[in-house]
Amino acid sequence: MEHTGYAEVMAQKAEVMKRSVGIDYDLYATGALSFDYEGMMTGTGYTIDEVARVQAETAVGSTPLVELHNITALARAVSPAGMGARIFVKDEAQNPSGSFKDRRASISIFEAKKKGYPGVSAATSGNYGAAVASQAAKRGLSCIIVQEAFDSRGIAQPEIAEKTRACEAYGAEVIRLSVGPELFYVFLMILSETGYFNASLYTPFSVLGIETLGFEIAREIKQREGRFPDVVIATHAGGGNVTGTGRGLAKAGAAGTALVAASVDLAGLHMASDTDFNRKSFTTGHTGFGIPFVTWPDRADVPKNAARPLRYIDRFVTVTQGEVFYITQCLAELEGMERGPAGNTSLTAAFAVARTMEKDKIVVVQETEYTGAGKHPYAQLNLARSMGITVRRGDPKQNVPGKAIVIPEEPSQIAVTDVDLDRLRRSYLKNAKDGLGPGQKITETDIAFLAADIRATEQYVREAMGI
């Protein structure tokens, strides 16, 4: 790259992204705000059968679907008579690097290999980095992972340090940075200088990889129980998880299955803040990512994000950090499954939701993830204490992100808080309107796109945007 100053590098973002992803996003533009979403998804050339075939080559997917008999019994013990739906979990920890993120990485790395890229790179602090590194190793490609790993004092989150270890174990080079805007700058520099493929979380390849997860859940429950699940609950952060799962459910014909997004409540903590960075005990699956990416998906590192959560979710709920730690221990002690925090976020929500449903209903937790030294609750809670955060047992409603983690005293205290989808839709539309360039006007094509993007009527869009 000829110019290496921050402003010069950022000005070349569109060019670098187009070259490193291999998608000409301009081909899909249809208006000031609108684009041909389905055209972009199908333009990759991958059908769901083709995705499944590619994933099978590297032992990704076809993970066990496990009924959690003991957790279901616990939910029923603290539910009204006749209530307490059956809880199942898709054990995605059985994927090569230990999470559903292998599904996302598999298609990106296959695409990079097919198109002759010399290597792959991704900017991620979580499981996705390990997935990219693992899949790159399987396909014989070089890999660079860029992490936002520590604060200005050099204090690293144990979960991120665990992912550094995993990425390096798979042979990847890991570049660790402090929290701040330099992450994307460095990532752009790497893509430009190496000519590597950008295995972004937000490309069609990444989202298509998750479709098989939703598809498998619907197909396997139908085969075992003779019907589709009533509810599928997915941990929500950047939006790709719920988008891919929703698309997979639809392709399996599970139109009546409700898709619930679940995030850890980290309200009040800013994800790009140096002081807040280590005051959270979860690096993903929380509202610090979940809310912004719902209200404006195209804040991503690609021109048009393939993850469009409002198109697919029927309900959005939050749980507290302490509740997730409680359910993590329940899963280990009652089911013999020691799993990491992100998947246990959706399990926590499932436990609460199941208590409000009749016994013959079926709730599926869409994923698990592996755990390890840095991802274990003890490591997370020790960091919290070192940051001056109170950790105690009590009523989880007294949880205060960044100040107090309150672990329930008994299971009946576990509950979900609903996020107002209408408020999120209106916030999305405001962001869309604010994003218009000079002289740009909203057209009928834009209105139709926006309505589809938030699952609302065109009249709703007009009224909300004052058109």
Give the separation between CA 57 and CA 80, rounded to whole angstroms: 47
Rounded to 5 degrees, what are φ and ψ at 364?
-115, 125
Give the separation between CA 374 and CA 161, rounded to whole angstroms: 7
Query: What does the chain come to in residues?
Result: 467
Question: Which ranges of 140-285 does DSSP label H, i.e. alpha helix?
Answer: 158-169, 182-194, 204-225, 240-251
Give the separation between CA 310 and CA 7, rounded to whole angstroms: 33
Nearest to 304 by CA among 6, 17, 10, 67: 17
Where does residue 240 rank: exposed (0-12), middle (13-18), buried (19+ CB within 10 A)? buried
Q: Which CATH number is 6-53+99-204 given?
A: 3.40.50.1100
pLDDT at 1: 46
Q: Kind of pairing, strands 173-178 and 142-150? A: parallel
Give the separation between CA 339 and CA 353, rounded to whole angstroms: 20
DSSP state of 390: E
Give the separation between CA 142 and CA 333, rounded to whole angstroms: 40
- CA–chain centroid gap for 149, Å, is 18
pLDDT in tens, the chain (467 residues): 455 677 787 788 888 888 999 999 999 999 999 999 999 999 999 999 999 999 999 999 999 999 999 999 999 999 999 999 999 999 999 999 999 999 999 999 999 999 999 999 999 988 999 999 999 999 999 999 999 999 999 998 899 999 999 999 999 999 999 988 788 889 999 999 999 999 999 999 999 999 999 999 999 999 999 999 999 999 999 999 999 999 999 999 999 999 999 999 999 988 888 889 899 988 889 999 999 999 999 998 899 999 999 999 999 999 999 999 999 999 999 999 999 988 899 999 999 999 999 999 999 999 999 998 888 999 999 999 999 999 999 999 999 999 999 999 999 999 999 999 999 999 999 999 999 989 899 999 999 999 999 999 999 999 999 98
Domain 62-97+210-418 annotated CATH 3.40.50.1100: yes
pTM: 0.96
């993970």: which residue's tokens?
63
User: Residue 286 has which token pair?
Assistant: 């929380």
């075992």: which residue's tokens?
224
DSSP state of 292: H
DSSP letters for 122-179: EE-SSHHHHHHHHHHHHHT-EEEEEEEEE-TT-PBPHHHHHHHHHHHHTT-EEEEEES
Question: Which ranges of 226-336 does DSSP label H, i.e. alpha helix?
Answer: 240-251, 287-295, 321-335
Location of each CATH 3.40.50.1100 domain in the chain: 6-53+99-204, 62-97+210-418
pLDDT at 2: 52
Q: Kind of pairing, strands 362-365 and 231-235? A: parallel
Give the separation between CA 363 and CA 35, rounded to whole angstroms: 34
Spatial contact of 25 and 35, defined as CB atoms under 8 Å apart: yes
Q: Kind of pairing, strands 142-150 and 119-123? A: parallel
User: Residue 283 has which token pair?
Assistant: 């690096």
User: Residue 181 has which token pair?
Assistant: 């805007």
pLDDT at 7: 79
Give the separation between CA 167 and CA 97, rounded to whole angstroms: 9
Residue type, 10: M
pLDDT at 271: 80
Sign of the CA dihedral 280, 296, 312, 221? negative
């139109």: which residue's tokens?
255
User: Residue 305 has which token pair?
Assistant: 């994000």
Nearest to 85 by CA among 408, 350, 461: 350
b/e map of 16-50 (b: 16 or more CB within 10 Å)?
bbbebbbbeeeebeebbbbbebeebbeebebebee
pLDDT at 373: 87
Question: Which ranges of 238-320 does DSSP label H, i.e. alpha helix?
Answer: 240-251, 287-295
Give the separation between CA 97 and CA 360, rounded to whole angstroms: 34
Nearest to 165 by CA among 200, 197, 127: 127
